[in-house]
């Protein structure tokens, strides 16, 4: 055990023995005007026991308010499959990044690439894995009402979060064109009415040390503030035997400030600004399978591994090149809310700036490759920025008719440079710039057809202009015969307009029991496949838009004196012109891997979420999902490496690979079954100034194939994870709270990505691990006032 971890543990035990005096006030969020659509945190931040709900004096479940439809509404009244995760749950379940959320949300998975830019958030089996900066995700990420331009921005860590809403199914009507499969709506904590603050320290056995601080309160009449910051440093858990480096570490820090101003009666101004930095010694892969004779670009692998034993338990690698990435992100937004009487006028102006760079050992072995002493090195830099303006009017409710309608504009641009070399047949050097301008109008209304029957209907008209500029700075000795390369600048532009919509009918079956049926359409915009091999043909013909048609039948219910909540949703969604990486036959008969519209896919299934408080001290929550996500049409998919005619590969004359028909196969990283269940039990210690709590949770997912091409070497079997914690909490709000926790109690090893190695031979399989793939323990101590 490291000295710092031991020190923090000692401080925590001392706090248990001598609890601090209770303080007045808790760190809570100030309310926002009803119907404003503004962020309205639901729970106290910090280490408070509980889950997605809190309790009243009677011990019943409390109502949950969400902004899933751009207005504050009771979760049980929203005809959308939503998982609402509060600050309490995020901390109690040790959720620190987006990658941790699949443990808490049915039908949600995250595919982890070697870089955050290759990560994919998937809902109900649908996600987008693309190298191009110009391809939109299928799942939108919205932070404080601002949609992120690049999905990779979401993987910078979570701090001082009030609530995360996981919205499943197409959400384009209200959240825009890149939400064809769903959305993550992230809401940060707001200023408090009283002066409050807190400091939280965390230390773990895998060498993470982190401190979070927050201070909040009034500055003057009508002016409130909140300021939070964090610093974290975690050492790596992958050992590089070549030079002793510990890879896959994380060092990050950030600050966010927020001002809430009421300049005159009926007007509220909310200003948010933040900056964060995250850097790491890469995301190193290790070898799971190395068959005899396996090679990378002709270099033998086994003899380079030395003492490393490939397999599921292999947390060692050997590379002699760099492995590094760094992200810098700055965001600012201003929200003005004007009370119009029956409705609120809301204006949201935002700007975001994200910079990312990486360098990696491209061949992933030590020693010479292709005649290069230290092998092949790839490095790249990204710069994304976006201005957005939204203007909307939202009714306050209180009648048979309610509504929200608005206008939206955004202007985004992403630049990228790429350099892979320094020489050899895989060298690539280029730079690119792509832009996207969006103009949209939207409206959604709710009307009570009868006292127990309600209809929700919405439309969104969207127009988008996209552009690309690409320059290939590597001049090949012999230009390819299949097409002219972009040795001079390649430029392209395109435009597209679409109307999407949603309609839902809700029927109140009994008090606190509601059933609904809905139909919605989704849209993911066209885009350019910006990657090595970009040609004038790609600039002239962007990848077509991806569209979806979704049907959902749901039930939302509370019963047994409001102590049990059960929400169920059955869904069926068809996607056309599904965007994915696949092989394309070029005029010279070679097959090139690029992004295109591969055909049709379908996802269908059932999800259920429950919460129960059988007694006031015990809270149980969880969820289960069954997802059948399959390819309906994909006639010209590239064969996986080594696929034979008997396995369905149709050879192509003059090419080293061929085509296969993937109709009927499952989508990648789409488990059929997922479930999670957690419990929190509060223990009253009447003779002590504090109470105790015990928390445990388990999550499970069935087997997946990480390869869209159905490569049998990319299958990860099903696994379950068990976590737990114990601790004490001062009776009065504020004061001291201490938790001792263990993640992955049974040390279950599992991969968050599996696949072949670039330039590798058949059967050579690399795996990517997340931090949670190994057991670690920790202590978290919080002092609040």
- The model's pLDDT over 139-160, given as tens digits with 9 standing for 90+, comes to 999 999 999 998 888 887 788 9
- Over residues 679-708, the pLDDT tens digits come to 999 999 988 888 999 999 999 999 999 988
Most confident of 52-66, 382-396, 417-431: 382-396
Share of the chain above pLDDT 90, in %: 59
Over range 608-636, report the average pLDDT.
Answer: 92
Question: What is the Cα–Cα distance from 738 to 782, expressed in whole angstroms?
Answer: 6
pLDDT band at residue 177 under the 50/70/90 scheme: confident
Least confident of 439-448, 529-538, 701-710: 529-538
Sequence-distant (6+) residues with CB within 8 A of 511 are none
Q: What is the DSSP letter of 714?
A: G
Going by C-alpha positions, the residue among 136, 105, 135 that lies closest to residue 123 is 105
pLDDT at 470 exceeding the cut of 70: yes
User: Do residues 715 and 738 touch, judged by C-beta distance below 8 A?
Assistant: no
Alpha carbon distance 123, 167 (integer Å): 9
Domain range holding 249?
3-784
**C-alpha triplet 716, 703, 52: angle, nearest 5°:** 110
Q: What contacts 765, CB < 8 A, 6 or more positions away? A: 287, 288, 289, 713, 714, 754, 755, 756, 757
Strand order in the sheet with 658-660: 637-638, 658-660, 650-651
Count of structural domains, the chain = 1
- DSSP H/E element including 11: helix 3-17
d(CA 294, CA 761): 6
Strand partners, 127: none
pLDDT at residue 355 is higher than 60: yes
Q: Give the pair of three-digit tokens for residue 503.
A: 């309609």
Do β-strands 401-421 and 377-395 pair in parallel, antiparallel, or remain unpaired?
antiparallel
CA atoms of 127 and 703, how far apart (whole Å): 17
Task: Please answer whether residues 614 and 620 qualify as being in contact, where contact means their C-beta atoms are separated by less than 8 angstroms.
Answer: yes
Range of lowest pLDDT (340-344, 563-567, 652-656, 716-720): 652-656
The answer to whether residue 43 scores a pLDDT higher than 60 is no
Q: Rounded to 5 degrees, what angle do the CA atoms 621, 561, 556 make? A: 55
Query: Taking all residues of the chain, what is their mean pLDDT, rounded to a whole number?
Result: 86
Of residues 392 and 537, more confidence is placed in: 392
User: How many residues are recorded in the chain?
Assistant: 785
Q: Residue 364 CA to chain centroid, in angstroms? A: 27
**Statement: residue 30 has pLDDT above 50:** no
Average pLDDT (657-678) is 91
Tokens of residue 708, six digits: 């869209």
Higher pLDDT, 713 or 399: 713
**Three-class DSSP category at 709:** coil
CATH number at residue 130: 2.40.170.20
**Closest of 271, 608, 166 to residue 175, by C-alpha:** 166
Q: Give the residue carrying structure tokens 């479940």.
A: 61
Lowest-pLDDT choice from 74-83, 128-137, 190-199, 203-212: 128-137
Question: What gap in Å lies between CA 258 and CA 32, rounded to an integer?
Answer: 14
Distance of CA 196 to the CA centre of its chain: 30
Strand ranges of the sheet holding 285-289, from the earlier edge strand across to the other edge: 285-289, 765-768, 753-756
Average pLDDT over residues 736-762: 92
State both tokens at 592.
Answer: 């090139």
Can you tell me the distance from the alpha carbon of 480 to that of 235, in angstroms, rounded to the nearest whole number?
45
d(CA 469, CA 482): 21
Per DSSP, the residues of 38-56 read: -----S--SS----S--B-
Token pair of 171, please? 């959400």
Whether residue 136 has pLDDT greater than 70 = yes
Strands (E), 23-138: 65-66, 73-74, 81-86, 108-111, 120-123
The model's confidence at residue 14, banded by pLDDT at 50, 70 and 90, is very low
63 pLDDT higher than 50: yes
121-143 average pLDDT score:
87
DSSP-derived letter for residue 97 is S
Count of alpha carbons within 13 angstroms of residue 763, beta-carbon side: 9
Identify the three-state secondary structure at position 613.
Answer: strand
Q: Output the CA torsion sign for 66, 69, 73, 77.
A: negative
DSSP code, position 668: T
Alpha carbon distance 739, 725 (integer Å): 6
Which residues make Cβ contacts (< 8 Å) with residue 551, sequence separation at least 6?
A: 517, 518, 519, 571, 572, 573
- The continuous run of DSSP H or E covering 89 comes out as helix 87-92
Q: How far is CA 268 from CA 147, 452, 664, in A?
A: 22, 35, 54
- For the cut 50, the answer to whether the pLDDT of residue 439 exceeds it is yes
Q: What is the pLDDT of residue 1?
A: 46
Cis before 422? omega within 30? yes
pLDDT at 716: 95
Query: Alpha helices, DSSP H only, in 252-368?
Result: 302-305
Q: What is the 3-state secondary structure (H, E, C) of 321-355?
A: CCEEEEEEEEEEEEEEEEECCCEEEEEEEEEEEEE
Per-residue confidence at 89, pLDDT binned at 50, 70, 90? confident
The 10s digit of each residue's pLDDT in 320-332 is: 989 999 999 999 9
Give CA–CA dist 216/258, Å, rounded: 9
């Amino acid at each position: 055990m490291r000295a710092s971890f031991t020190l923090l543990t000692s401080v925590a035990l001392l706090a248990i023995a001598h609890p601090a005096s209770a303080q007045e006030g808790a760190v809570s969020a100030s309310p926002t005007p009803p119907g404003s659509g503004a962020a309205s945190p639901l729970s106290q931040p910090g280490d408070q026991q509980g889950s997605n709900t809190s309790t009243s004096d009677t011990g019943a479940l409390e109502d949950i308010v969400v902004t899933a439809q751009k207005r504050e509404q009771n979760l049980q009244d929203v005809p959308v499959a939503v998982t609402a995760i509060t600050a309490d749950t995020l901390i109690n379940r040790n959720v620190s990044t987006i990658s941790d959320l699949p443990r808490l949300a049915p039908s949600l998975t995250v595919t982890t690439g070697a870089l955050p830019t290759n990560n994919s958030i998937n809902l109900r089996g649908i996600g987008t894995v693309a190298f191009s900066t110009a391809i939109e995700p299928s799942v939108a990420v919205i932070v404080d009402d601002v949609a992120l331009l690049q999905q990779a921005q979401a993987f910078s860590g979570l701090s001082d979060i009030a609530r995360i809403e996981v919205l499943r199914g197409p959400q384009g009507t209200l959240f825009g064109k890149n939400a064809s499969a769903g959305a993550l709506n992230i809401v940060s904590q707001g200023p408090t009415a009283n002066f409050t603050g807190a400091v939280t320290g965390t230390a773990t056995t895998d060498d993470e040390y982190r401190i979070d601080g927050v201070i909040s309160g009034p500055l003057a009449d009508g002016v409130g503030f909140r300021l939070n910051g964090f610093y974290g440093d975690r050492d790596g858990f992958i050992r590089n035997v070549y030079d002793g480096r510990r890879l896959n570490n994380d060092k990050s820090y950030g600050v966010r400030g927020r001002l809430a101003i009421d300049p005159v009666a009926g007007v509220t101004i909310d200003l948010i600004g933040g900056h964060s930095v995250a850097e790491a010694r890469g995301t190193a892969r290790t070898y799971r399978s190395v068959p005899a004779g396996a090679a990378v670009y002709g270099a033998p692998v086994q003899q380079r591994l030395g003492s490393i034993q490939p397999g599921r338990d292999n947390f060692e690698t050997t590379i002699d090149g760099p492995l590094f990435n760094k992200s810098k992100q700055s965001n600012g937004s201003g929200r003005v809310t004007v009370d119009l009487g029956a409705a609120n006028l809301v204006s949201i102006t935002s700007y975001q700036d994200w910079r990312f760079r990486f360098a990696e050992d491209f061949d992933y072995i030590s020693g010479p490759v292709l005649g290069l002493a230290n092998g092949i090195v790839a490095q790249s830099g990204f710069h994304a920025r976006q201005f957005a303006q939204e203007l909307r009017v939202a009714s306050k409710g209180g009648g048979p008719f309610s509504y929200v309608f608005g206008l939206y504009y955004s202007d985004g641009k992403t630049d990228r440079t790429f350099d892979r070399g320094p020489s050899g047949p895989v060298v690539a050097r280029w730079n690119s710039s792509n832009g996207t301008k969006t103009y949209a109008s939207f409206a959604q209304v709710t009307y009570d057809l009868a006292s127990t029957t309600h209809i929700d209907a919405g439309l969104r008209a969207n127009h988008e202009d996209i552009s690309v500029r690409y320059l290939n700075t590597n001049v090949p000795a012999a230009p390819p015969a299949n097409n002219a390369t972009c040795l001079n600048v390649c430029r392209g532009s395109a435009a597209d307009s679409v109307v999407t919509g949603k309609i839902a009918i809700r029927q109140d079956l009994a008090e606190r029991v509601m059933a609904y049926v809905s139909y919605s359409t989704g849209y993911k915009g066209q885009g350019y496949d910006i990657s090595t091999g970009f040609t004038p043909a790609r600039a002239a013909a962007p990848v077509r838009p991806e569209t979806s048609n979704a049907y959902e039948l749901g039930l939302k219910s509370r019963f047994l004196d409001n102590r049990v909540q059960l929400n169920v949703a059955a869904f069926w969604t068809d996607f056309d012109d599904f965007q994915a990486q696949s092989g394309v036959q070029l005029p010279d008969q070679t097959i090139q891997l690029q992004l295109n519209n591969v055909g049709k896919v379908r996802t269908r299934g059932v999800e259920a979420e429950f919460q129960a408080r059988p007694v006031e001290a015990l809270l149980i929550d969880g969820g289960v999902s069954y997802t059948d996500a399959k390819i309906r049409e994909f006639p010209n998919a590239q064969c996986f490496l080594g696929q034979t005619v008997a396995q369905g590969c149709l050879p192509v004359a003059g090419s080293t690979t061929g085509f296969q028909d993937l109709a009927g196969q499952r989508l990648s990283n789409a488990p059929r079954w997922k479930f999670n269940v957690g419990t929190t039990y509060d223990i009253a210690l009447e003779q002590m100034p504090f109470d105790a709590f015990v928390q445990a949770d388990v999550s499970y997912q069935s087997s997946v194939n990480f390869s869209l091409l159905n490569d049998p070497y990319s299958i990860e079997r099903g696994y379950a994870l068990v976590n737990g914690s114990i601790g004490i909490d001062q009776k009065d709000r504020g004061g001291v709270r201490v938790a001792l926790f263990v993640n992955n109690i049974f040390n279950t090893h599992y991969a968050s990505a599996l696949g072949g190695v670039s330039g590798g031979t058949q059967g050579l399989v690399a795996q990517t691990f997340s931090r949670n793939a190994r057991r670690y323990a920790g202590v978290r101590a919080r002092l609040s006032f």
